[in-house]
Amino acid sequence: MIAAGVDPISQFEIKKLAELKIGNFDISFTNSALMMVVTIALIALWLLLSTSKKSLIPGRAQSIAEISYEFIADMLRSAAGKDGMKFFPFVFALFIFILFANLLGMIPFFFTTTSHIIVTLTLALMVFFIVTFYGIWKNGFGFLKLFWPSGVPIVIKPFVCILELISYISRPISHSIRLWANVMAGHIMLKVFAGFCIMLVGAFGVVGGSLAGILPFLMTFALTPLELLVSFVQAYVFALLTCIYLSDAVHPGH
């Protein structure tokens, strides 16, 4: 446990809990899969409890559920307009899934699913393909107006078009790395400072180590609320960018 306590990387290790295979693909049930299941189970439990009463004057839990609902609904409506509201369940699911996964990851010894690039990349690609296919299905060739901006002199238009194309294609990369890097870096920082405390005790004994460990302990103490904030902000940013990308699919001409 001490070794796991000081090594800032081991928290990202995936461990198989049950072997599972489909053809050549190893889809074993891992600690990551367990945390995903816990995440959606918690969300379902929370919403089940908070929406069971449906009272006119909301209680605390119902109020939180309604505030989350209106928070995401307002965000999507202001970014993508009324036509974008058909994606509301999708954006809400993204936000709440990432938020719960991030927050659950803050509990000591819990695995953080969003600290793996493949998870955030899958989510970002999901957004990317939904935006692309819906945009083409809804607007046909009109979707290409996204890469052919109006109000730009014809001489530089091709260059702007190339830039727009590159930025469009790189969207899922920035979208996924922003979330992943924030979560992962935060967890490494926390683990490094927390690990310092243990190492100092190992090096200078209980009394000396505890005295020397005050600084890294205070650092860990200060970093924890910061990371809780980052958990929320990154979920918010991911959902907000999804809304902005979706607005391109709904209104490509701006």
Partner 1 sequence: MLNAITLIGLKLAAKKPAGDYGGKEAAEGVFPPFDSNYFATQIFWLFLTFAILYFLLSRVFLPRIGQTIEERSSRIADDLDAASRMQKEAEEAEKSYERALADAKAKAHNVAETTRQSVDAEVKAEMDAADAEAAKAAEAAELRIRGVREKAMANIEAVAADAAQATVEALTGKKPTLATVKKALN
Residues lying near partner 1 in the complex (CB under 8 A):
3-4, 6-10, 12-16, 20, 22, 25-30, 32-33, 36-37, 39-40, 43-44, 47-48, 51, 54, 56, 58, 62, 65-66, 69-70, 88-90, 92-93, 96-97, 113, 115-119, 122-123, 126, 180, 184, 188-189, 192-193, 195-196, 199
Cα separation of 192 and 64, whole Å? 34
CB of 55 to partner 1, least distance (A): 8
Question: Would you say 143 or 193 has its CB closer to partner 1?
Answer: 193
Question: Would you say 143 or 238 has its CB closer to partner 1?
Answer: 238
Question: Would you say 87 or 143 has its CB closer to partner 1?
Answer: 87
Reference 187, options 37, 32, 7; nearest CA is: 7
CB of 33 to partner 1, least distance (A): 4
Cα separation of 200 and 184, whole Å? 24
Q: Which residues contact 34 (CB under 8 A, 6 or more apart)?
A: 17, 111
CB of 56 to partner 1, least distance (A): 6
Asked if 100 and 42 touch (Cβ cutoff 8 Å), the reply is yes
Cα separation of 214 and 209, whole Å? 9
Cα separation of 88 and 74, whole Å? 10
Reference 114, options 229, 9, 32, 201; nearest CA is: 32
CB of 94 to partner 1, least distance (A): 8
User: Which three-class secondary structure state does DSSP give residue 18?
Assistant: strand
CB of 184 to partner 1, least distance (A): 7
Question: Would you say 20 or 163 has its CB closer to partner 1?
Answer: 20
Question: Would you say 16 or 254 has its CB closer to partner 1?
Answer: 16
